C-alpha cells in the first residue's frame, strides 16, 4: 500500500530527508519556527447555515463547524481570547441564536468586529461578545423576521412569529446597551429600506444607539482583547 504524506504530492520515501533538511536543500531556506497564537479567530461570513443546507451559490458559515470550534477554544488552556469577525447577511434564526448564546456564555474574553456587514441574525452574534467593534463603513440591518414556506393564515402564525422575534430582541437588549423600545422602533421603521421595513445602521450609528461598543478596526479589536486577557489573568491570581 502506498502511503502519501499529508502535505506533499510525493509518496513518503525513505530517501527523501525529513522536512527541515529537505526544505533547505530544495528552497535554500529553513522552515520558520512555529509560533503559537494565544488569540484565536472565528470568521462568520455569508449566510449562517442551520438545519437546512442552502443552495451552493450561497457562501455559508455552518453551525456544525463553529460550535465545536467554540467548545475547543473554551477548553484549550493555550487559547486565551477569541476574536469574532463578522461579515454576514443573516441566516437561520436557531443557528444564529445558538452561536450567540455559546459566545455569550464563554468564560474566555471575546471581542467581535463587524466588517462589511452584520445584518439580521448577525446582530445578536455581534453583541454576544464581551466587547464589540464596528468598522466605520460597516452596516447593520435591523428588520423584522419573515416566515418562509407554507403559511397558515391564522392568528397563531402571527403570535409564533412574534415569539421568534422576541427571542432575538430579548437577546440583543440583554447583551448590548440599546433600549428595547429603541430597538423595536428601528426594526419597524418605514421609509429606509426599499423592499422591507427596518433600519440600516452605518458604523458610528450603531455605536450611537448603544448596539455596538466602539467604532474601530482590527488593531483596536486585538488591543482590546489583549487588555481583557490581562484583566482576566489578574482576576484569577
Instruction: Write out the catalytic residue numbers.
Output: 120, 143
Contacts of other proteins in 36-55 (CB under 8 A): 36-37, 39-42, 47, 50-55
Tell me if 13 contacts other proteins by CB under 8 A: no
How many Cα neighbours within 13 Å face the side chain of 197? 10
Tell me if 128 contacts other proteins by CB under 8 A: no
Contacts of other proteins in 191-230 (CB under 8 A): 195-196
Q: In this chain, which of 146, 150, 153, 237 binds other proteins, going by CB under 8 A? A: 146
Question: CA distances (Å), 188 to each of 89, 140, 144, 177, in order?
Answer: 19, 14, 7, 19
Tell me if 94 contacts other proteins by CB under 8 A: yes
Instruction: Determine the Cα–Cα distance for residues 164 and 141; give it in Å rounded to an integer.
Output: 18
E strands, 146-210, are 199-202
Instruction: Determine the Cα–Cα distance for residues 19 and 6; give it in Å rounded to an integer.
Output: 12
Size of the site for other proteins (CB under 8 A): 49
72: three-class secondary structure by DSSP: helix
In the complex, least distance from residue 67 CB atom to other proteins, rounded to whole angstroms? 12
Tell me if 163 contacts other proteins by CB under 8 A: no
Maximal CA-CA distance, the chain? 75
Q: Which is nearer to other proteins, 104 or 145 (CB)?
A: 145
In degrees rounded to 5, what are phi and psi of residue 62?
A: -95, 135
Instruction: Determine the Cα–Cα distance for residues 229 and 167; give it in Å rounded to an integer.
Output: 30
Tell me if 99 contacts other proteins by CB under 8 A: no
Q: Which is nearer to other proteins, 163 or 234 (CB)?
A: 163
Q: Which is nearer to other proteins, 47 or 129 (CB)?
A: 47
Query: 158, 162, 180: which is closest to 171 by C-alpha?
Result: 180
Pairing state between β 131-134 and 214-215 = parallel
Q: In this chain, which of 81, 87, 91, 103 binds other proteins, going by CB under 8 A? A: 91
Tell me if 33 contacts other proteins by CB under 8 A: no
Which residues bind to other proteins, rule: CB under 8 A?
Answer: 4, 6-9, 34-37, 39-42, 47, 50-58, 65, 69, 72-73, 82, 89-94, 96, 117, 119-121, 141, 143, 145-148, 164, 168, 195-196
Amino acid at each position: 500500500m502506498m502511503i502519501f504524506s499529508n502535505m506533499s504530492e510525493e509518496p513518503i520515501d525513505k530517501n527523501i530527508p525529513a522536512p527541515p533538511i529537505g526544505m533547505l536543500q530544495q528552497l535554500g531556506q529553513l522552515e520558520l519556527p512555529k509560533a503559537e497564537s494565544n488569540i484565536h479567530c472565528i470568521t462568520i461570513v455569508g449566510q449562517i447555515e442551520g438545519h437546512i443546507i442552502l443552495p451552493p451559490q450561497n457562501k455559508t458559515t455552518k453551525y456544525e463547524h463553529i460550535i465545536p470550534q467554540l467548545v475547543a477554544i473554551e477548553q484549550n488552556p493555550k487559547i486565551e481570547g477569541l476574536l469574532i469577525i463578522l461579515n454576514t447577511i443573516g441566516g437561520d434564526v436557531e443557528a444564529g441564536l445558538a452561536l450567540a448564546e455559546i459566545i455569550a456564555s464563554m468564560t474566555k474574553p471575546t471581542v467581535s468586529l463587524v466588517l462589511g456587514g452584520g445584518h439580521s441574525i448577525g446582530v445578536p452574534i455581534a453583541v454576544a461578545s464581551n466587547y464589540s467593534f464596528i468598522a466605520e463603513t460597516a452596516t447593520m440591518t435591523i428588520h423584522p423576521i419573515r416566515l418562509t414556506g407554507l403559511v397558515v393564515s391564522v392568528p397563531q402564525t402571527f403570535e409564533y412569529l412574534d415569539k421568534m422575534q422576541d427571542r432575538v430582541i430579548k437577546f440583543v437588549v440583554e447583551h448590548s446597551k440599546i433600549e428595547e423600545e429603541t430597538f423595536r422602533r428601528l426594526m419597524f421603521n418605514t421609509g429606509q429600506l426599499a423592499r422591507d421595513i427596518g433600519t440600516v445602521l452605518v458604523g458610528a450609528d450603531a455605536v450611537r444607539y448603544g448596539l455596538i461598543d466602539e467604532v474601530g478596526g482590527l488593531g483596536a479589536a486585538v488591543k482590546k482583547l489583549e487588555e481583557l486577557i490581562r484583566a482576566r489573568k489578574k482576576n484569577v491570581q
